[in-house]
Amino acid sequence: MAKSYRALCSLRYPDGPAEVAKRKARDPDVKWKEVPEGAITTDIPSESISWLLEQGRIEEIKAGVPGPSPTKVKEADDG
Amino acid sequence: MAKYGSAEVGFLLVGPYNLTNVSSKIEDSATRTTEDMTPFGTSIAVVAASPVVHFELTGHEGWYDDAADSINAAMVGMASTATILMMAVKGNTAGKLAVCSSGAIRTGYKRSFAVGEYHKASMELAITGIRDEATIVYPLTLTSGDGSTEAADLDLGAAGGGTTGCNVYFSCTQLALTGSTNLIVTFEDSSDAITYAPQTAMTALTVVGAEYKASVDQTVNRYVAAKWVFTGLAGTPTATFALAVKVNAPHA
């Protein structure tokens, strides 16, 4: 099962392995995917995961460790 | 090694003012004063160089222009405030040199009028704070709508990145939002030229502007790009801007 990561900033990368291959070949016609900050994603190119983790730009979502609850956020907003 | 000529001066930006087409000469000077340190008991002069280097832009020559985005407005606007300076002397191309500073101060503005000649205007600027030999990431270009340069990123080279942050210089000389809310320009980087992430986002613009952002002790990867988004995209917005970066040297 693919690991899940939370984007700690917006990310932009080729949309799928075939597009990654095109990017590596410097094909100018690459289809890019944009992931907004805070989104959880499973398809970050494998080549990029280590440096994004190391530089604190993504974090791994571990099983049993939920992220911020939308309900709790709403309660906070309600004051 | 290469020689360059006046045709390769890509831009001269003072704050959000593009003074390229009203300028014909400028001198980018660095001077270090000296102090006579000759003590008693010797007849041999001892001169010591000041530890401070002064950067100035002098010898400017150009033409008077009263357009709202030209030299007269720029000099009036700089009467009491420091602004961004960006000067491309080897071409308006990504990867080329941009002499940049966050602290250009107007020290002189002269207008001259002579029979049979166009009116002239010249300025003198002193630099306070940092002056960088930066690299153009995004050349001064008119853009329309959202965009980015990841597909044609700039490779700073294997030793071009760093871990001690960078100085980013940005000047937007023209902006037409056509109903969009604002323009946000982001300096992005990547370690592998596959995935890009923002390094620094410039302040959202609703009118033309210029900005300098510095980071310290932050990793800057070797592949860099610019990305721009018109928030609340409406109509066909346009902007003309340039972005340059100077990656900090490693700590001594």
Of B99, B84, B69, B105, the closest CA to residue B211 belongs to B84
Which pLDDT value is given to residue A66?
A: 57
Mutate to test the interface with B, among A5, A6, A8, A12 (most CBs of B within 10 A): A12
Size of interface A-B (CB pairs under 8 A): 47
User: What band does A67 get if pLDDT is binned at 50, 70 and 90?
Assistant: low
Of B52-61, B71-80, B121-130, give the lowest mean pLDDT range: B71-80
B6 compared with B80, residue with greater pLDDT: B6
Which pLDDT value is given to residue A75?
A: 43
Percentage with pLDDT > 90 across chain B: 90
Which pLDDT value is given to residue B83?
A: 94
A71, pLDDT greater than 60: no
In this prediction, residues B183-212 reach a mean pLDDT of: 97
CA distance A25 to chain B (A): 11
CA distance A36 to chain B (A): 10
B82, pLDDT greater than 60: yes
Residues facing residue A41 across a β-bridge = A5
A69, pLDDT greater than 60: no
Instruction: Tell me which CATH code domain B137-247 carries.
Output: 2.60.120
CA distance B174 to B17: 9
Predicted ipTM > 0.85: no
Give the chain B residue whose CA is nearest to the CA of A50. Answer: B191
Which pLDDT value is given to residue A65?
A: 61
DSSP state of B13: E
Sign of CA dihedral B173, B174, B179, B184: negative
Of A9, A48, A57, the CB nearest to B194: A48
pLDDT digits (tens, 9 = 90+) for A1-26: 789 999 999 999 999 999 999 999 99
Q: Within 10 A of B115 (CB to CB), how many other CB atoms are there?
A: 4
In this prediction, residues A18-36 reach a mean pLDDT of: 95
CA angle A30, A36, A39 (to 5 degrees): 115
CA distance A59 to chain B (A): 14
